[in-house]
Amino acid sequence: GAVVSQHPSWVICKSGTSVKIECRSLDFQATTMFWYRQFPKQSLMLMATSNEGSKATYEQGVEKDKFLINHASLTLSTLTVTSAHPEDSSFYICRETAFFGQGTRLTVV
Amino acid sequence: GENVEQHPSTLSVQEGDSAVIKCTYSDSASNYFPWYKQELGKRPQLIIDIRSNVGEKKDQRIAVTLNKTAKHFSLHITETQPEDSAVYFCAASTSNFNKFYFGSGTKLNVKP
C-alpha cells in the first residue's frame, strides 16, 4: 500500500524559531496531502490540505502565516511552523490517501 | 458539513471478550469509512475500511458493518487480546483522496 515518510519524528526548538516538517510519498504519487494536529487524548484536527503546485487550503481558525505549507513537487509536502511558541507544541501528522506519516512531536521551549 | 459521532469514549473488556465501537455520520454523500488504531505516541494505523457498496467486511478478528439507511457503522473486535489496547478512531469521507471527518476516538483497554 501507499507509504508516507515523515521527518523528523520529534523536534525541540526555542521560542521564536521556525521548524520544518516534511512528508514524502514513497511509492504512490498522490497530489494531495492532508496535515493534522493532535493534542493529547484528542482526535485529529485537520489544519490544511495541500496540492502539488497550488496554494494550500486552510481550515477555519488555522493561521496561514504561522503554518506555512508547501507542496512544490508531486512527492513532497512540507509544513513550517514559523515563530514557534510553547502553545504550538503538539503532534503534527500528515496523511496521503488512507495512510498517515509517522508524525512529528514538536516541543517548543 | 459532515459530523461523525463515536461511542463509547472508553471501553474496558476482559481478554477474550468482544468489543464493539459505534459511529454515526450525517452526510449521505459519505461513502468511505476507514477505522484506525492509534497506540500512544504513534501514527494512526488503518486496520480496516468499508465502502458504501457493501454492508460488512471482515479481516480475521476484525469486522466492520455499515448501515447506510441509518447512517451508522461499527467496528467489531472478537477474541480481544491485550495488544488490542489502543485508541480507535472512525472516519467518514467521500473517498480516501478527500477530507476525512474523524470521530472523537475510543480508548479500548483489554484486561489480561
Could you report the per-residue pLDDT of B15-67, keeping only the tens digit for each?
999 999 999 999 999 999 999 999 999 999 999 999 988 899 999 999 999 99
Q: Write the DSSP string, B76-89.
A: EE-S--GGG-EEEE
| Residue A62 sits at the chain B interface (C-beta within 8 Å) | no
CB contact under 8 A, A100 and B44: yes
Give the span between the Cα atoms of B35 and B89, in whole angstroms: 6
**pLDDT given for residue A31 in this prediction:** 75
> Strand, helix or coil at B42?
coil
Q: Do B61 and B17 touch, CB atoms closer than 8 A?
A: no
- Residues B62-83 have pLDDT tens digits of 999 999 999 999 999 999 999 9
**pLDDT given for residue A29 in this prediction:** 63
**pLDDT given for residue A52 in this prediction:** 84
| Residue A9 sits at the chain B interface (C-beta within 8 Å) | no
The minimum CA-CA distance between B14 and chain A, rounded to whole Å, is: 23
Give the span between the Cα atoms of A77 and A85, in whole angstroms: 23
Give the span between the Cα atoms of A102 and A7, in whole angstroms: 8
Grid coordinates in use for B103? 470521530
Q: Do A62 and A88 touch, CB atoms closer than 8 A?
A: no
| Residue A35 sits at the chain B interface (C-beta within 8 Å) | no
Q: In what order do the strands lie in the sheet with A76-81?
A: A4-7, A19-25, A76-81, A67-73
Give the span between the Cα atoms of B55 and B41, in whole angstroms: 33
Looking up cell 473517498 gives B95
In this structure, the number of other CB atoms found within 10 A of the CB of residue A104 comes to: 23
For range B6-16, the mean pLDDT: 98
In this structure, the number of other CB atoms found within 10 A of the CB of residue B56 comes to: 12
**pLDDT given for residue A53 in this prediction:** 83
**pLDDT given for residue B1 in this prediction:** 82
Q: From start to end of A1-109, where are the E strands? A: 4-7, 10-13, 19-25, 32-38, 44-51, 57-58, 67-73, 76-81, 90-96, 99-100, 104-108
For range B91-95, the mean pLDDT: 92
Residues counted in chain A: 109
The minimum CA-CA distance between A108 and chain B, rounded to whole Å, is: 17
In the structure, what pLDDT confidence band is assigned to residue B96 with cuts at 50, 70 and 90? confident
